[in-house]
Amino acid sequence: MSGTATAPKAPADGGVRGPGRPRVLLAPITVTPSKPLTPSHLKGLLWTDVMYRASSGLADVVYRYSPTAYHLTEQTLGFWEYLDRSVGDVDYSGLSEEQIGEMYVGYRAAAHKADAAALRPYAEAVEAEGWVHPAAARVLERWTAHYARLGMRDPGLTAHQPPVLGAEESLQRLHDLGFCLDLRGCGGPVYLDATRHGLPLRQIVDADGRPNYLACMMRELLPLAPHFDEVVLLYDRELDADYHLVERVLAASGVSVRRVVLGRVPIDGRIRSARHGGWAGHTVGALLEELGEEYDDAVLRLGLRLYFIAVLGAGQQQSFRREVLRQSLTRAARLLSAGPVPDPAPVPDVLARHRKDHLYVNPYRLTSSLLARHRPAPARDLLEAVYL
């Protein structure tokens, strides 16, 4: 097991609370740093970024996105053990995220998976030292560069952001709320139990004590959520059943929860998980390399947001199409070249139009309004605050 611990760094906290402003916790699904970012990942990240920046104009928003909290899942620790066992002592600092992603595809396809004893030293290093495998550190380093190029807020990709609750504390909290079925005493797993609400049992810790991502999420959100007026969960459609459970648990703590469900982006009409590969030429790195020389940063940032938010929408009906993306980039260049356009309404008033009965600003409603026909170009201060 090789690598070093990441230096502790305070997580992004949304700044100083304004007088009388509501508090919103934005908690999107965390992408595992084991593969390149794909169009589906980029869609979720851009929706989150616009939601964060727009909602921050009306509320104090904390954007919680902690890779640290999810390093303990079996899929992550198993990949790290696989790399050390199968690949050996490699200098990952010179590898691309695509190359590391191909190794992850190999891991997912491998017949042999490490047992709990083999993964225990990795889990202990993560918990005790904030240790990160050099392959994951390299992927996070590349993602940080992509975030900067795209103008997205970095929520602490390379920061050590451990969850507030320990594993046993979170299970006790779930037990106190009436949502924990713990069968470890008879050699079994731990379940998230919301059967009284008509929802099925969901295993969150296996019989060997290994947590899945829901167990890690409970450690993060259970202590944080009660301090906010609204918690927004943004996630893939495939995880809808799990997030119904999360909503039930947080609601039992007196928390107002909003779920924002996004479909993935099909490639050539097919939706495939990144764990199976098939993303060659469609990764965020490849897109930035292809488009970065043709468009300046402002056009790239606005155009990608127009495409992945307003054009694709929240569903998953449309496949990724380069020609349509380029149309959005052309539209972005036109909007940005219109010159300074005064908006008769202050930016907060403009943002408030795109809320309903919730505190967060809806990214789709706000972004699609930029494309409305027979309307003047958006004010530059709005673009600067939310998109550039």
What CA–CA distance (Å, rounded) separates 149 from 301?
8
What pLDDT is recorded for position 378? 83
Q: Are 61 and 6 in contact (CB under 8 A)?
A: no
Look at residues 27, 114, 108 and name the one whose alpha carbon lies nearest to residue 66.
27
- Residues β-bridged to residue 181: 191
State the first-to-last Cα distance of the chain, in angstroms, to the nearest integer. 41
Q: Are 352 and 265 in contact (CB under 8 A)?
A: no
Q: Is 128 exposed, middle or buried (0-12, 13-18, 19+ CB in 10 A)?
A: exposed
What pLDDT is recorded for position 233? 98
What CA–CA distance (Å, rounded) separates 274 from 34?
10
- Residues β-bridged to residue 152: none
The DSSP output letter for 275 is G
What count of other Cβ atoms lies within 10 Å of the Cβ of residue 155?
23
Q: Are 129 and 300 in contact (CB under 8 A)?
A: no
Q: Is 8 helix (H, G, I), strand (E, B) or coil?
A: strand
What pLDDT is recorded for position 12? 42
What pLDDT is recorded for position 277? 67
* Positions in the chain short of pLDDT 70: 1-19, 273-277, 339-344, 374
What CA–CA distance (Å, rounded) separates 115 from 97?
26
What pLDDT is recorded for position 207? 94
Write out the two tokens for 336. Answer: 């940005």
What CA–CA distance (Å, rounded) separates 181 from 296?
54
